[in-house]
Amino acid sequence: MKTGLKKAGFTLIELIVSVSIMAIIVGIFLANYYGSEPQSQLINATSALMRDLRLAQTRGAAGVNYGHDPSPGWGINMASGTSAYWLFADINGDHVYNTSTESSTVKGSREIILPAGVTVSNIDSGDPMNITFYQDRDVLKTYLTDGSIVSTSTAGITLTEANTGAVKHVYVNPYGLIYSDL
C-alpha cells in the first residue's frame, strides 16, 4: 500500500555526519593558517631586507643625493639582537652609519622595523654591520664594515622568528651580490 509520501531528503544522521566532516576540515584549515603566520612574517621580513639592500645599492649606483646634500653612497646599518635596521646615506663617505648626521628621514634615510617576533639574531662579518654601496669611477663598490674593519668576505645576516625558532639568511658578498635561502 502506497501512502503517496516521497522519501526525498536527508536523514538527521546524514546531516550530522556532513556538518561534522565540514567542521573537521575547517578546523584543520584554521590551525594551518594561524600556524603558518609566523613563517610568513619571517619570509616577508627577509624579502624586505633584500629589497632595502637593493634600494641602497641602486641609490649608491645612481648617486642619489641626501636631500640637497651630495651623498657618496647609500647603505644599511644593523646590529644583532635588534628588530630594526637603518637605510642611510653615507654623506661623509666613511662607510659607517652616523646617527647625528645620517638619520634624517626628511632627506631619505629611514628606520625599518621588522615584523613582531622577527629579529636580526646574528651577523657573520662584524657587529654592528654597515653595508654600503658607492659609485667609484663608473664602478659600483660594496663595503662591508663593522665600523673599523672593511671585510672582504661575504656578510651573512640571520633573521630569526622568536615563536617558532625558524631562521632565514641573507648574504651580501664584496661584489654586491645579494641573495638568500628563501
pLDDT in tens, 7-36: 677 788 989 999 999 999 998 888 777 777
* Per-residue model confidence (pLDDT) at position 146: 78
Q: On the CB side of 100, how many CA atoms lie within 13 Å of its CA?
A: 1
Report the C-alpha gap between 82 and 170 in whole angstroms.
16
State how many domains the chain has: 1
Question: Which residues in 150-159 are b (16+ Cβ under 10 Å) and which e?
Answer: ebeeebebeb
The yes-or-no verdict on residue 83 having pLDDT over 80 is: yes
More confident residue, 102 or 117: 117
Would you state the torsion angle of the CA atoms of residues 84, 179, 128, 113, taken in this order, to the nearest 10 degrees?
0
- Reported as half-sphere exposure (CB side, CA atoms, 13 A), residue 130 has a value of 24
Mean pLDDT for the chain overall:
86
- Can you give the residue range of the structural domain that contains 60? 16-180
In this structure, is residue 5 part of a structural domain? no
Q: Is residue 3 part of a domain?
A: no
Whether 6 is in a domain gets the answer no
Angle formed at CA 162 by CA 49 and CA 166, multiple of 5 degrees: 70
Which has the closest alpha carbon to 87: 109, 103, 65?
A: 109
User: For residue 80, what pLDDT is reported?
Assistant: 92
pLDDT at 79 over 70: yes
DSSP class of residue 171 equals E
Does the residue 7 lie in any domain?
no
Check residue 5 and give its pLDDT: 62
Within-domain flag for 143: yes
Determine, yes or no, domain membership for 34.
yes
Instruction: Check whether 2 has a pLDDT greater than 70.
Output: no
Residue 122 lies in a domain: yes
